[in-house]
Structure 1
């Protein structure tokens, strides 16, 4: 049972990390289209590089094992980011909210099983 929880935690965290890193990479590699998307969503385009940096650092924080507080902040940041993305896409009606919904699901599973694995290790 212990290994099952660890495997579920790692798979969910890998999927969440890939989703976040791919999105942040697009902010840099496909900047022109991201600017258009931000403008369509009503977000200031000055946030693009800041958000890309924050997402990369957040993924690093999820995987580091030195500070549980830093992990908690990373999870919280991703919750806010993904919820904002879901509601922003719903608000403009472009149908692009499903990636963020998937991210929230991966995040919830990762967080739940992270805590379960930590409890088993005590």
Structure 2
């Protein structure tokens, strides 16, 4: 039962993190473009990231296709890891905190997903060592 609660709490918080970020990308686009430029990323990534930051949590929450949900977990992992490393690389470790929190929430959600969902992820069974 604790794993089910852990799954839903971590997944809800992770989704909130991503959806809040997407909202910020929409409402504060100029500031986001400037922040991305400081990290060395081009401005044309902003519209793509808005779509990804909405579809990723949707794929995990709705889980209409388990492999697609697992792909969303993988994409979010790489996104959060690269965001964390980008902030650390430009010597802004405090700005890396949301990505670090996101990585912890993502790990908790991924590890506990089979306890909370009817159709299990075959990748989680392979990851359990």
Post-superposition CA distance 1:83-119 (Å, at most 9, x none): 0100000011122001000000000000000033348
Task: Please give the TM-score of this superposition, normalised by the length of structure 1.
Answer: 0.91
Match of 1:17 among 12, 15, 18: 15
- Write the distance in 1 (CA, Å) between the matches of 2:3 and 2:88: 33
Q: Which runs of 4+ in 1 moved over 2 A?
A: 115-119
Task: Please give the TM-score of this superposition, normalised by the length of structure 2.
Answer: 0.87
RMSD: 1.7
Are 2:58 and 1:60 equivalent residues in the alignment? yes
Instruction: Give 5+ residue unaligned stretches, structure 1.
Output: none
2:110 corresponds to: 111
- Write the distance in 1 (CA, Å) between the matches of 2:56 and 2:41: 21
Post-superposition CA distance 1:27-56 (Å, at most 9, x none): 111111101101000001100010111110
Question: Offset of 1:65 from its aligned partner?
Answer: 2.9
1:50 corresponds to: 48
Aligned counterparts, 1:81-120, within 5 A: 81-95=79-93, 96-118=95-117
1:72 corresponds to: 70
Instruction: Give 5+ residue unaligned stretches, structure 2.
Output: 121-129
